[in-house]
Structure 1
Amino acid sequence: MVSTILHKNELRKGLYIVPTPIGNLGDITIRAIEILKKSDFILCEDTRVSKKLLEKFEIKTSLISNHKFNETKNLTKVLNILKDGKLVSLISDAGTPGISDPGAVLINECVKQNINVIPLPGPSAVTTAVSASGFNEKYLFYGFFPEKEKLIVEELENYSNLNFCMVFFISPKKINKIIPYLKTYFKNRKILICREISKYYEEYLRSDIANLKLFENEPKGELTIIISEKQINKNTSQKISESDKNSINIMLKKLSTKEITNIIANYSNAPKKEIYEYCIKLKNEK
């Protein structure tokens, strides 16, 4: 294979967002290795973790520690490096920077100052877990839960009303605290709990949330959990709510019957056929 990147000066200068393996080091891309080798500096969370990756692929680029406690303090220094025409890569300990990891502060400042931000595709626990779930491909990514119990309850109550798959990150210390709330607000859904993705002891636990049990021992490693879309009994006729009827009335001026049916069915328990027939009825009355 011949690389399309031949010389360092052919690369656009700026900030490269480089995903790194979430477990198996073999998951790094050829392009990611090339960019890291040709960078002037690499921003990383923990230099001890990143050095293992760099040594594996014989990358000798200088590291700059850049974690959530010092990324704001680092801002001026890094921006000056970028303005000086240097090529800088941003990595996290694992996965894609900026996705529940440091990065947003610097990226936003680069955007404001018209500094190139070039993202690379690569490893992500979110898409890896969703692809294995078998649930609806429409999903919402939340990330980590807040610390305060009151906020956790509020968030889960709000999200339980949406008819999408939900993706959460949970630390092993919190999973048993969260499970009772999942059983309360998502009781008619399914769940996939992903542990140690792409590592030797990776594990995928599938269950109906109603049957979910507490872990007897604290699991090792961060958990990615996927909650399925709402399980709707198609044989049970559900009436269209008054608020949905009002929404349909408004949308009929701009959207087709099919488009309205799909939108309303996405969050309503009413069958598509009933929504469609209601749209036709309204159109005929006008």
Structure 2
Amino acid sequence: MIGRLYVVATPIGNLSDISERAKATLASVDVILCEDTRVTGKLLHTYKIETKMLSYHQHSGGTKVNKIVELLEEGKTLALVTDAGTPAISDPGAMLVQELVNRFGSDIVIEPIPGPSAVIAALSASGFPADEFLFLGFAPHKKGRQTFFDRVKETESTVVLYESTHRIMKALGEIEERMPLRPLVVCRELTKMHETIYRGTAREVTEQLESTSIKGEFVIVLKQL
């Protein structure tokens, strides 16, 4: 009998945001597949969970996937986590889930354990309509970046995207160039000690960021047209 894979959401910053169900799942499975064992290890240590970890990230090759397949074929139960938030959402876990579906089809049970998500947290605090929205993940670093922001401009619904510390100002500049008056919200370090939410146009938010630290992880939400 093929084992079971749990897709477990973990905190995006504040460790107390983990659910009781997530903790129970992580404590009961045979192996936890994690993006970075150091990051997940901190979470497990906090809640005294001693389950064995196995790394799985964007650079994991076929050998690692085959190892995971072998564990499932042995009937093992596995939990997939990412460093922060919900696995497979703008995350390499999506490739693993798809690979397992391709290999096992309906023979494998893949069970989501829902919880924190930066996308949903940012939307909930934005004040923008969220009955319809487009999530685009991270903007490309170079190739395809202009096309990416052109697509944002043409999208009429609310748009959500991620950006890094090193490119947040560049992203705001590209938004200002195309959509100077479109209202947006930029969320920095959601659920963490220095959580900050900036509101305004791209230019107004840029001016706010220029007067403070721009370290951290960012979620940008653009209001629907």
Cα gap change, 1:145/1:218 in structure 2, threshold over 3 Å: closer, same or farther? Answer: farther
Paired position in structure 2 for 1:125: 118
Report the alpha carbon displacement of residue 106 of structure 1 after superposing the two structures with TM.
1.5
Larger Rg: 1
In structure 2, the partner of 1:202 is 195
CA deviation after TM superposition for structure 1 residue 213, in Å: 2.4
2:37/2:55 contact within 8 Å kept: yes
C-alpha RMSD of the superposition: 1.6
1:163 aligns with 2:163: no
**TM norm structure 2:** 0.92
Distance 2:51 2:203 in 1: 50
Runs (4 or more) in structure 1 with deviation over 2 Å come to 208-218
In 1, the alpha carbon distance for the partners of 2:79 and 2:61 equals 14
Q: Deviations for 1:64-105, whole angstroms, at most 9, x for unmatched residues?
A: 011111154311100110111110000011101111222122
Equivalent position of 2:83 in the other structure: 93
The answer for the alignment partner of 1:250 in structure 2 is: none
1:74 counterpart letter in structure 2:
K
5+ long unaligned stretches in structure 1: 1-11, 231-286
Give the structure 2 partner of residue 34 of structure 1: 24
TM-score (norm 1): 0.73
- Per the TM alignment, residue 158 of structure 1 is displaced from its structure 2 partner at its CA by 2.2
What per-residue deviation string (whole Å, max 9, x for no partner) do you get for residues 173-223 of structure 1? 001111221012222311111011001110001112353425436512110
Flag the 1:220–1:50 CA change in 2: closer, same or farther, 3 A. Answer: same
- In 2, distance between residues paired with 1:13 and 1:80? 10
Q: Deviations over 1:109-133 (max 9, x none)?
A: 2212132111111000000000000
- Using the alignment, how far apart are the partners of 1:177 and 1:201 within structure 2? 22
Aligned length: 218
Amino acid at match of 2:206: K
Contact 2:3–2:73 (CA under 8 A) maintained in structure 1? no
> Counterparts of 1:65-80 in structure 2 under 5 Å?
65-80=55-70
SS at match of 1:60: coil
**Greater strand fraction, Structure 1 or Structure 2:** 2
CA contact (8 A) 2:173 2:202 kept: no
Retained in 2: the 8 A contact 1:196–1:202? yes
Structure 2: give runs of 5+ residues left out of the alignment: none
Identity %: 39
| Equivalent residue, structure 1, for 2:53 | 63
Bigger drift between 188-197 and 178-187 goes to 178-187
Supply the distance in 1 between the matched residues of 2:166 and 2:213 (Cα, whole angstroms): 7
Partner of residue 4 from structure 2, selected from 9, 14, 17: 14
Structure 2: distance between partners of 1:131 and 1:88: 31
Task: Decide which of 166, 172, 176 is 1:173's aligned counterpart.
Answer: 166
